[in-house]
Chain A
């Protein structure tokens, strides 16, 4: 187990290294950062002055080496736009984004698990077919469109909830539903098929034949075994809820990391963008590690 963990941590380190490299190169290929730091009407001399001062005139691998050296010490540089340490800006936004991610996860599990169970236990019923359609719908709706539709219906037509911003608990409902609906559809679908498969196993028939109540069979025997693929999906989806909040946060002007990232992209704020992508990637890599460890608890047959 320890060897496995060390191996995985080493692996994660190289993944992070790769991510940082790709991100760095992509950002620098997408336009001259110096030209973006001065007004459009700046003279070529002024642009050149910035380029030299910021070190953008050096070879890109040298720039990457310098970036990496500082990043390993947690220094992503200063935000061009706000002139504060880039990592601080990202870290400040974590609570807001986490709050949204957790609320969305509650929506997604609260909706996805019951629907998945009901659909699996009533396979082929009207409810099952209805829920499968709803799931298809939930998975194919773009977040952006769903968010706007919710705003137009719930806020504009009905006037029940505020459209955007964050000043209290009621502000989180629409973004959380927007973000959670997609994952809830995923959870329901995976749980349904996993449960259907488990319920067809011999040991379930045995349990049934020895007279156990359906409820007991479900909670004691079936659910735990059906949970493994669901845990994988949830692990992945938390990454989605964090990273995917870019779109949702923008639609709802919700002041989290995603909104910060969008502003960084628009304002060509490279340090903030790098700090954001690397932080999100780190979280996702970490979650993967956790999911792998969780497997061993859920399925004793899995040993590393």
Chain B
């Protein structure tokens, strides 16, 4: 949704109203329609972008002993605050209540988890300084002893137990629960030792701990959830000052932060839904950092000596899926032919201004399990025609390509370009654009007959996300699954040794590359506009950790 997605912009004003009666009819349907149009035009993922939400830890998930927390923290102090604009406001300041990317980007400044990801997305100790597995179900964490909440009280295991079990409690109906349901319970062994017990063996446990923030148990209960949701207390590098809904959030440096006091004294987050306005505010000097800059605005910003464009490959993979149960896509030769038929690099260069990274299989390099040895299918229309002929489709065939509009960068344009390439090898494709929600409902109901364009970001940055979400028969392999993929997915999920686990995923990705259930396209880049003197490189997981920023 997140962010999502999408962005939204309305090019047409509300229809003119000629008569009062018509206006009434219009009030019912028209408002909804216009708004949907609005929503459709904005660039991809402005708002909730469930796929790309947050990043659990990922690279290696075995117990290690803590090194220093948190990536490179800039040194030196400054008096200049920073103003950051995202596409939407948060829904709640209770960090387990809003799971959208924009909200997590704010929350990560105020709250901490047991383990977090550093700038390179490596899993690093945060509130937990070390951990070990006691048995297949039990994980034991040692907490840092120097962690203070913003109200001055120390963090203990009681707070961790409270925070996690509150999310798990079905009566709380937490929005974060579906993601951490694998956790059965939490035990406080002593003040600084907690055990997390899972319902089943779950090797990537650390990757979901990023969804769980440490809240102050006593204070939370004293304040009640409603009060806490508007004046939160955490352990993060910035403490809450003020939140005026849909206008701004102000946070201020927390001097007693366990990771050291950050360089920038305070931060203001502003929601500016319309991308063109976000860019204008940046140009007018009202902002220091703006997210989701449209590709068309890049040259305007680059012209200015006081502003910079900074980009980073995101964790969102864009691909064309196929309904492999229906002919002709049940034939692997046809699926491979489609991959040979599309000039992906040219699409990236021409439609995305080069802001995409080509991929050869089902995940991007930010994810654990990514197989760097696979080469993308080369652009080879002759080979495609030959494969189609072998499969008995020498004269091509007709099919459909469903695509959301305004959900991902240039989504409809990319779908049309793909259709054009397929036409060159004799496949007549009808592109059927739709509003994302309506489209995604059909997708979930297995109602896509032919091809579909979709974006996917594993929220845990672990290959299991995409595997379970697309290729396992009992989980959600709606449009493709096979006994081989089932076997490897299950094997990876019972393997605790990260190296052996990674090897299984490498094999699985090579298998899927061969099977070609998708036309593999690219990983989208996130584009930020910033003041040139801001020292900061964007993160692939879309976090905006202000303690990683400083002024030069």
Contact = CB atoms under 8 A, between A and B. Distances in A.
Given A259-B246, A267-B47, A268-B1, A142 B27 contact: no
Contacts of B270: 164-165, 253
B463 to A, nearest CB: 13
Contacts of A244: 13-14
B28 A19 contact: yes
A23 B459 CA distance: 34
A236 B248 CA distance: 34
A254 B449 CA distance: 42
B51 A41 contact: yes
Contact of A284 (B3, B24, B34, B92): B24
B459 A41 contact: yes
A30 B437 contact: yes
A163 B458 contact: no
A23 B179 contact: no
A168 to B, nearest CB: 11
A288 B429 CA distance: 49
A136 B8 CA distance: 28
A148 B47 contact: no
Contact of A236 (B23, B46, B179, B465): B23
Contact of A250 (B3, B23, B273): B273
B308 interface: no
B46 to A, nearest CB: 8
Given A236-B20, A239-B27, A253-B271, A164 B277 contact: yes
B489 to A, nearest CB: 14
Contact of B475 (A43, A152, A164): A43
Nearest to B33: A26
B88 interface: yes
Contacts of B65: none
Interface string B80-115: 000000001101100001110000000000000000
A30 B436 CA distance: 10
A32 B444 contact: yes
A294 interface: no
B6 interface: yes
Nearest to B24: A15
Contacts of A38: 178
A156 interface: yes
Given A41-B469, A267-B47, A144 B280 contact: no
A159 B284 contact: yes
B9 interface: yes
Contacts of B271: 253
Contacts, number: 220
B189 interface: no
A25 to B, nearest CB: 10
B222 interface: no
A62 B482 CA distance: 41
A247 B444 contact: no
Contacts of A35: 437, 440-441, 444
B441 A281 contact: no
A246 B34 contact: yes
B237 interface: no
Counting contact residues on chain A (CB < 8 A from B), the size range is: 35 or more
B304 to A, nearest CB: 11
B438 A266 contact: no
Contacts of A247: 10, 13-14, 34, 38
A12 to B, nearest CB: 9
Interface string A23-47: 1001100111001101111111011
A249 B5 CA distance: 19
Interface in B241-258: 245-248
Contacts of A259: 246, 273
Contacts of B185: none
Contacts of B50: 39-41
A163 B437 contact: no
B286 interface: yes
Given A43-B476, A143-B14, A266-B47, A163 B277 contact: yes
A236 B26 CA distance: 12
A266 B28 contact: no
Interface string A149-166: 001100110010011111
A151 B280 contact: yes
Q: Which secondary structure dominates where chain A touches chain B?
A: helix
Contact of B48 (A143, A144, A165, A267): A267
Given A41-B469, A159-B284, A164-B272, A252 B277 contact: yes
B277 A236 contact: no
Interface string A196-215: 00000000000000000000
Which among A148, A164, A251 has the greatest number of chain B C-beta atoms within 10 A?
Answer: A164
A288 B19 CA distance: 11
B475 A155 contact: no
B457 to A, nearest CB: 9
A237 B350 CA distance: 44
A243 interface: yes
A266 B27 contact: no
A267 B3 CA distance: 8
A301 to B, nearest CB: 20
Interface string B146-160: 000000000000000
Nearest to A29: B438
B32 A273 contact: yes
A32 B441 CA distance: 6
Contacts of B13: 141-144, 182, 244, 247
A284 B10 contact: no
B345 interface: no
Given A244-B14, A262-B273, A266-B1, A19 B38 contact: no
Contacts of B456: 40
Interface in A228-282: 232, 235-236, 239-240, 243-244, 246-247, 250-253, 255, 259-263, 265-268, 273, 276-277, 280-281
Contacts of A236: 17, 20, 23
A23 B38 contact: no
A143 to B, nearest CB: 4
B88 A263 contact: yes
- Which 7 A-B pairs give the minimum distances between C-beta atoms? A31-B437, A255-B246, A40-B50, A32-B441, A143-B13, A19-B28, A31-B441
12 contacts: A36-B440, A41-B51, A145-B11, A155-B280, A156-B280, A164-B272, A244-B13, A250-B273, A259-B246, A259-B273, A262-B273, A266-B88
Interface of A: 15, 18-19, 22-23, 26-27, 30-32, 35-36, 38-44, 46-47, 81-83, 139, 141-145, 148, 151-152, 155-156, 159, 162-167, 182, 232, 235-236, 239-240, 243-244, 246-247, 250-253, 255, 259-263, 265-268, 273, 276-277, 280-281, 284-285, 288, 291
Given A155-B280, A266-B5, 11 more contacts: A30-B438, A41-B465, A144-B9, A145-B11, A247-B13, A253-B246, A253-B274, A255-B246, A255-B247, A262-B273, A265-B38
